[in-house]
Structure 1
């Protein structure tokens, strides 16, 4: 995952953001939708920049596409 940010959304829901070049948030920060967590990189050992994104409820991984809105 490289440089990893885990966001606790409450009620057992978490989102994970990996491969970050830099991380701009710290444990305990109060976040709101749209806040930037850092910059995309390749810290996870990939050959190019990209972000790893995962959603979990408790320890169970969920389909992340059910949690994002893609706009043009």
Structure 2
């Protein structure tokens, strides 16, 4: 199972010196607070957000995900 690696997204944004507002505007949001809710996991990023995120964060799409192993 794969999930978005939200800590990676936040860390990478900081490394790239991108503000919450810059990220919000790139995804079509008005407010930094809206983007922050996505980055914190309160809202789910949509599929169409992912290529934009990867481009802004200068990373591959695969880097936005982490693999979760479920043991039964």
TM (norm. structure 2) is: 0.32
TM-score w.r.t. structure 1 length?
A: 0.32
Bigger relative contact order (CA 8 A; separation at least 6): 2
